[in-house]
Structure 1
């Protein structure tokens, strides 16, 4: 089958940012290897696209929604650094405006059959309906949605962290399922890719035949190319944490769990990242008498992050509400085994062959299990190298962006000739 002509909608897509914009860019750019792609993105990403070598008008189109998006973005800053659910709800307005403009610009060419497929890559959240999906269904052009991810419930016992994150709207988040436009979007889509098994469970059973599991995060081998050598010497176990310093990431639990081992020199701990909890974490280290045993690296560029991670034996990442877990894949790509909480994204990425997962539970149980896992690795570090090699192999086989592009190419082939069941992309 010839390469399909695909109009890729990626409102958030930027190679110079992190999180969702980087995922959006990485997906859209990778798809250029398996399809004739034209990317539609928001105007704020235009300069970054040009610096990345793409040609406006040929490779991409920028859509200006700033008259709606900019004031709402300024207003959302009043919510503080957290409040993710509320900010997502507010961003639904400029996202809907973006889709209307996309249809104004490309509706005629879509209707005329100039595009084989329309694929909305971002937003990733499953809560936002798509106007373009419904229009594509009317003119018979396949519409691919996703990968969608988000909405992982807060685990029991962490209401304090939930409130500190400003997640007051998360208590009623499920109300979005009652919106009629949501059902119309899912019905109109030819394929619905989901980035987590939890999100798959949120898709109504009537759409299960076209729902396809594919974690949204991937690895750019140019960004993460170093090779870690876990347990290569007889020194203390070297653990690192990478992430924003916010309550749900669990850096405070890691420090408390590691404290006895840090005090006796059996463990070193490096924390990479910045955020509102950083002063509190530094104070905790001081109050526990751990000055000089924990290194706070602050925010680092990707190149520096991989250098620090590659010098360690283990990624310790006890986040209790992680949708995707990109840092887990980054560690695995370097050959660094991850130690995570078995919940949501990280729990789906980590298997015993290449990492360690402790059960989700109350805070005290997570701290205890983290400490037990670290103590066991200090006693028996021999398997770290083997698990690290298996982790690297897993990423190379499944989670590079080139691999993801080939996986999505299977979805494209299926929606163009939907014979038999939807493809299974990852086990």
Structure 2
């Protein structure tokens, strides 16, 4: 990794918190990975009762403001919509103006979070080159699945107006069109931003890993143990796996374990009972992290046909453990995986997806050597692309390309590989 110590970088996120989950945890990992290599200043909200950003990331300067406490009572709403973001925008904008008036210099600014592609950037019009992303979200439900997805909360449905905002919201459009680079979690994001004249777009998964487990998955001697991990919502594809199980009833030693909680779990349980496969499916509900790792370690195949998955971080988890993957060729999974480690299926209708999942299970059931080769390829892919130190090196190359006015030596391709 090249030396970047003198580069002065502003890094903005809604929060940085290594004790939490979700976006603030991912932002924390990015900050920890970048801080040893640049002069880093972090800008974010800070939540009371948690370790401070300065305590968690002492390698960087932390400039924080208290997150409005009343929002903590509406955690799902707060995490999804981030209603206090305009307040953070104002704080950052005013702070930065004051710093610049006092003669302070920054080489680059980077709005790394929020993840959703709907928040304007306070670095716009501040005479500092800036980057936005990786951003994601706004992935559409395939038409064939809309009748089964059902209704969602009103604030979740607000994602439907994001496309209109990128057409007509001048504030948002200018934020993105004047960014030196807009990073997207997968290539589909560029399509969603087609109405904004971007200077440059690069696909880059926002997630990373610290390493691969020392104890790898070995696979069972008999049968096939399938694993699905994900929130209990229809889009995660659990119901499609249940239906696939009914299509392989001639393979009674194929079993499925589901780890995750939510209203969809009960629908999936009823589907399994109706189709006569309940005796081969274990619903574990929400389980602790250590138990999830145990499931990865003791399973044979990770089956995750999530048909509206913007990123696919759970696929990275499974690939860490050397699990071959059955997923879809759409959205985040199409970018996170490749043909060496995954069987990637088209997304058209629930009936077709269930048949394709069943066919893929048969393929891997019959070929243990292929499972092993796919598992090895999965770990190699994670090691090549997913380690935080390598993601930081790539981000630093992007930073330098902005300052030098050129392109980085290494960028991610649309399929998650590398081009020189």
TM-score (norm 1): 0.87
2:17 aligns with 14
Q: Distance in 2 between matches of 1:105 and 1:51?
A: 18
Deviation at 1:410, TM superposition (A): 0.5
Q: Distance in 1 between matches of 2:331 and 2:321?
A: 22
Determine if the alignment matches structure 1 residue 236 to structure 2 residue 223.
yes
2:68 aligns with 66
Change over 3 Å in CA distance of 1:50–1:11 after alignment to 2: closer
Count of aligned residue pairs for this structure pair: 406
2:417 aligns with none
State how 1:322-337 maps to structure 2 within 5 Å.
322-337=309-324
Native 8 Å contact 1:230 1:388 kept in 2: no
Q: Which has the larger helix fraction?
A: 1
1:155 aligns with 142
Match of 1:174 among 154, 163, 173: 163
Q: Distance in 2 between matches of 1:54 and 1:360?
A: 42
1:96 aligns with 86
Native 8 Å contact 1:245 1:273 kept in 2: yes
Native 8 Å contact 1:109 1:115 kept in 2: no
1:393 aligns with 380
Change over 3 Å in CA distance of 1:315–1:110 after alignment to 2: farther
Residues 168-187 of structure 1 show CA distances to partners (whole Å, capped at 9, x for unaligned) of 44444311111001121023
State how 1:27-46 maps to structure 2 within 5 Å.
27-44=30-47
Which one is further off, 338-347 or 108-117? 108-117
Match of 1:5 among 5, 8, 11: 8
Native 8 Å contact 1:209 1:422 kept in 2: no
Change over 3 Å in CA distance of 1:332–1:180 after alignment to 2: same
Q: Distance in 1 between matches of 2:128 and 2:252?
A: 62
Change over 3 Å in CA distance of 1:257–1:280 after alignment to 2: same
Residues 67-113 of structure 1 show CA distances to partners (whole Å, capped at 9, x for unaligned) of 68558x47948xxxxxx9xx53xx3x411210111233343224524
Deviation at 1:60, TM superposition (A): 2.1
Native 8 Å contact 1:335 1:392 kept in 2: yes
2:339 aligns with 352
2:418 aligns with none
Q: Distance in 2 between matches of 1:26 and 1:146?
A: 14
Deviation at 1:51, TM superposition (A): 9.9
Change over 3 Å in CA distance of 1:192–1:287 after alignment to 2: same
Give secondary structure in 2 for the equivalent of 1:47: coil
Give secondary structure in 2 for the equivalent of 1:133: coil
2:416 aligns with none
Higher relative contact order (CA closer than 8 Å, sequence separation 6+) = 1
Deviation at 1:404, TM superposition (A): 0.7
Change over 3 Å in CA distance of 1:47–1:135 after alignment to 2: farther
TM-score (norm 2): 0.88
1:81 aligns with none
Q: Distance in 2 between matches of 1:74 and 1:183?
A: 29
2:184 aligns with 194
Change over 3 Å in CA distance of 1:317–1:110 after alignment to 2: farther
Give secondary structure in 2 for the equivalent of 1:339: strand
Match of 1:129 among 112, 120, 124: 120
